[in-house]
Structures are given as structure tokens and as C-alpha cells.
């Protein structure tokens, strides 16, 4: 079977995009994993099918590089929007479905092969944002809960932004072995059976973060993760609220595990809109959202989606072999 594909990346998070509007392309888990293999296939963090969905511009089906269908991919949502534009399915606005429901996206501008896109994420109830310490009361958990810089600290959160994330705030993300430490948490019994993505977050200054992510399904650090930086921005907003409350009551905010005063962290004011700049190893993303009393609303993930190349590849159904032509 000859398969046409395009390769895109969003701040280093790279994907294979396949136009499946005809609905006749079926790939096995092994075939998807082989296509994503960086030595034997095209190479990518994941693969997406652009499908036909009645009432929408398109549907998005996302698979991790291990070949398994996965939850929402934020950078993937931006990349498939750029792919849809290349197919003349949309102009500047897209309305599509993903595994977690409906999403909208907006193309801000396009310069050469780089398209700046903002993706609307689902609203998040603050009551569903958990501090990690409430999750690891499970006696089978091997996560040690104290203020060491290399393990989960009091300023650690669990948030689902379309995909599950465990957020760990620390002073220096360069001090962490993301592959080794992230794997321990990803497979901890408290997150069974699906596991979790793990994000290590550093506060650079007010409304400016640096995030490194261990992605389940890839089973290693990726250069960027859209749902991860979104989760980091919302967890940071919770920390800002805590800092504001601590200072109001004369409590040392160092007890949270982050040794910054509220003046550096900033404050959270319900009803206002916030914009957080987030650096990753693959580039810069921005997350904007509105604070409400009980939830975060109007959440947008913004950043570049870049076309890399396109080609055709032979997929042998019996031997799982692939041969590239670009």
C-alpha cells in the first residue's frame, strides 16, 4: 500500500499527517509505530488522520509513536489545522472534533512554511485540579513527597487538559533527568492503569515559565507538549492564588516548595484574563485564559506549526515493512 503523508512540527513536537477523508486507510498499531520510528520509518512523536466529520471541517484521530490511539494532543491540534489549510479545507478558522470533543482553531498568520495558530482548549473546573499529595495517599505509591528538587514537591499538581498531566514545579529544570525521573512517576501505581504525562516546570519570572515534558506513549522527553504547557499555565495560576493568600495572611510561601515571593510569581484575580509565556526545548508557546471563581475558561494555546516535508511511503501489510519516497 502506497501512503501519502506530510510531516509537521509544533515547537519540535513532530507528527505524521495523513489525509483520510475517504476513510479507506487502516493501519495497525505495529504499522503506526514503525512509521513513527526515527530509524526505520518516517520518524515522529505521533501520527494523525484527518477524517471527515459531518457538521465539522474535519475530525482528528491521534496516535502516539507506540502505535496506540491517545488522548488530545495540543500541538497536534495546531499542526492538523495547518494541514487542513494546505488541503484548502479551511481559510482562517477551523472547527473540528478530537477524542475529547469539539475544538476551534484560528490561523493568525502564515510566513513561508510557518503558520501561527491558536487552539481553543476545553474549560477546566478548578475543583478537578488536585495537589499531588492528595493523590499519593495510596500506600502502594513509590512517590516520595518532600521538598527535594528531584522528586514531587508540595507545589505539584495533577490536571487533565485533554490528556492527564502531573506538574512538578522546581527551581532548576536543567537539574532533572526527565527520562529517568519522569518514567518513575508515569508508571507509578497511583496513575494506573493509563499512566500520566509528567511535566517539570520552572518559574523564570512573572507569567514566564520553562517546561520539560515526559510523554507517555513516546516514553521519553519530547521537545514540547501542548496539553502539558496548558496544564503548567493553569497550575501556575493556582500557585499565584496561593501566594496571594499566603502573603495576605503573613504565611511564608516557601512552604509551597517554590522559593519566590508573590511579587515575582504575580497574583491571580478572578474574572481577569491571563497570558503566560512558556518556553520549551522546541520553542515558545503562549497560553491565555480567563479566571472565574470556580473554573478556567476561554483557554487558548498559541504557537507555530511548521511544514517540514511530504512524501509517499510503501507500507507492506504482511511484513510491516516501509519504504520511503520523498
| Residues identified as active-site | 73, 225
Q: What CA–CA distance (Å, rounded) separates 33 from 281?
A: 24
Ramachandran assignment for 175, one of left (phi > 0), alpha (psi -120 to 50 degrees), beta (any other): alpha
Q: What CA–CA distance (Å, rounded) separates 69 from 311?
A: 23
Neighbours of 286 (CB within 10 A): 16
Q: What CA–CA distance (Å, rounded) separates 28 from 49?
A: 13
Q: What CA–CA distance (Å, rounded) separates 229 from 138?
A: 27
Q: What CA–CA distance (Å, rounded) separates 121 from 107?
A: 15
Is the N-terminal amide bond of 193 cis, ω within 30° of 0?
yes
Look at the chain and count its residues: 326
Instruction: For residue 192, report the phi and psi dihedrals to the nearest 5 degrees.
Output: -70, 155
Q: In three state form, how does the secondary structure of 126-158 look?
A: HHHCEEHHHHCCCCCCCCCCCCCCCCCCCCEEE
Q: What CA–CA distance (Å, rounded) separates 260 from 263?
A: 8
Q: In three state form, how does the secondary structure of 197-249 look?
A: EEEEEEEEECCEEEEEEEECCCCEEECCCHHHHHHHHHHHHHHHHHHHHHHHC
Output helix, strand, coil percentages for the chain, rounded to the nearest 5.
Answer: 25, 40, 35
**Beta pairing, strands 197-205 & 208-215:** antiparallel
Amino acid at each position: 500500500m502506497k501512503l501519502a503523508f506530510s510531516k509537521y512540527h509544533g515547537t519540535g513536537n513532530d507528527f505524521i499527517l495523513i489525509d483520510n477523508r475517504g476513510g479507506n486507510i487502516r493501519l495497525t498499531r505495529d504499522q503506526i509505530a514503525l512509521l513513527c520510528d526515527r530509524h526505520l520509518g518516517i520518524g515522529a512523536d505521533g501520527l494523525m488522520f484527518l477524517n471527515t466529520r459531518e457538521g465539522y471541517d474535519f475530525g482528528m484521530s491521534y496516535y502516539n509513536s507506540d502505535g496506540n490511539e491517545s488522548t488530545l494532543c495540543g500541538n497536534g491540534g495546531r499542526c492538523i489545522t495547518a494541514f487542513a489549510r494546505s488541503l484548502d479545507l479551511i481559510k482562517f478558522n477551523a472547527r473540528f472534533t478530537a477524542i475529547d470533543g469539539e475544538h476551534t482553531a484560528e490561523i493568525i498568520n502564515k510566513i513561508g512554511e510557518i503558520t501561527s495558530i491558536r487552539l481553543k482548549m476545553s474549560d477546566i473546573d478548578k475543583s478537578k485540579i488536585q495537589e499531588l499529595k492528595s493523590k499519593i495517599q495510596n500506600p502502594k505509591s513509590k512517590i516520595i513527597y518532600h521538598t527535594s528538587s528531584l522528586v514531587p514537591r508540595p507545589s505539584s499538581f495533577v490536571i487533565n487538559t485533554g490528556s492527564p498531566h502531573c506538574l512538578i514545579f522546581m527551581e532548576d529544570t536543567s537539574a532533572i533527568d526527565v527520562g529517568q525521573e519522569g518514567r518513575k512517576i508515569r508508571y507509578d501505581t497511583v496513575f494506573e492503569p493509563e499512566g500520566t504525562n509528567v511535566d517539570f516546570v520552572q518559574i523564570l519570572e512573572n507569567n514566564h515559565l520553562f517546561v520539560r515534558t515526559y510523554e507517555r506513549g513516546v516514553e521519553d522527553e519530547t521537545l514540547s507538549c501542548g496539553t502539558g504547557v496548558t496544564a503548567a499555565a493553569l497550575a501556575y495560576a493556582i500557585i499565584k492564588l496561593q501566594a496571594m493568600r499566603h502573603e495576605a495572611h503573613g504565611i511564608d510561601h516557601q512552604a509551597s516548595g517554590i522559593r519566590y515571593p508573590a511579587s515575582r510569581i504575580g497574583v491571580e484575580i478572578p474574572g481577569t484574563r491571563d497570558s503566560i509565556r512558556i518556553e520549551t526545548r522546541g520553542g515558545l508557546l503562549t497560553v491565555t485564559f480567563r479566571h472565574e471563581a470556580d473554573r478556567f475558561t476561554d483557554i487558548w494555546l498559541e504557537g507555530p506549526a511548521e511544514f517540514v516535508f511530504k512524501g509517499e511511503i510503501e507500507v507492506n501489510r504482511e511484513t510491516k515493512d516501509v519504504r520511503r519516497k520523498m
